[in-house]
Amino acid sequence: MPGVAGEGRAWRLASALHSRYGDVTAALASSDSLPGLGDGDTLVAHYDAYPDTGTLSRDWLVLFDRSAAEAPSTRAGRRPAPEGQALPAAFALHQNEPNPFGEGTTIRFAIPVASRVRLEVFDLLGRRVRTLADGAFEPGEHAVVWDRRNARGAPASPGLYFYRMEAGQYREKRAMTIVP
């Protein structure tokens, strides 16, 4: 894992993020063993071209993925970021804006690899108010707008709410406030 060779070039490990353990770059660079991969875990490793190759190369991404129904799989290849944009290095759920809000709010999140994302809003009693996203998303920064309506289309009452994001093993929640 500390280095990869192919296509007449060589790459050195630049960073590695595990969906449960976080940054595992040092552990991978010092050994050839992978951190444990459980059901739904991902390990994203970024490689930079060795400086002595004499060529500039795009970054490489290696993704180790294990789903509940399959044996661990590995995919590798070039993953260029959209022009003028860098791909996120880790999963992230950002604070909604504006907060507090009256009519609507925007919830932003980042995913480093293509993932199924579920984004839900809950009231203080833990009851689901609305599902804002539930599907496949490409790597990158994303935004979802909540128009303050519940699943039946009625406006949600003023008060404190929570929103939760699930993507693979990543789980995060944040609070937001609706004002009258």
Please write the tens of the pLDDT for every residue from 131-178.
999 999 999 999 999 999 999 999 999 999 999 999 988 999 999 999
pLDDT at 95: 97
Q: What is the chain's mean pLDDT, rounded?
A: 78
Within the chain, all domains assigned CATH 2.60.40.4070 are found at 92-178
Q: What is the dihedral of CA 149, 151, 152, 154, to 10 degrees?
A: -20
pLDDT of residue 33: 62
Residue 2 confidence (pLDDT) above 60? no
pLDDT the model gives residue 73: 40
Residue 77's pLDDT is: 40
Tokens of 20: 């449960």
Q: What is the pLDDT of residue 20?
A: 74
Look at residue 25 in the predicted model and tell me its pLDDT. 79
pLDDT at 18: 78
Burial of 123 (0-12, 13-18, 19+ CB in 10 A): middle
Residue 94 one-letter amino acid:
H
| Phi, psi values for residue 51, rounded to 5° | -65, -25
Q: Right CATH number for 92-178 from 3.40.50.300, 3.40.1280.10, 2.60.40.4070, 3.30.160.20?
A: 2.60.40.4070
pLDDT, tens digit, 9 for 90 and up, residues 93-136: 999 999 999 999 999 999 988 889 999 999 999 999 999 999 99
Task: Please report, as a single letter, which amino acid is at residue 156.
Answer: A
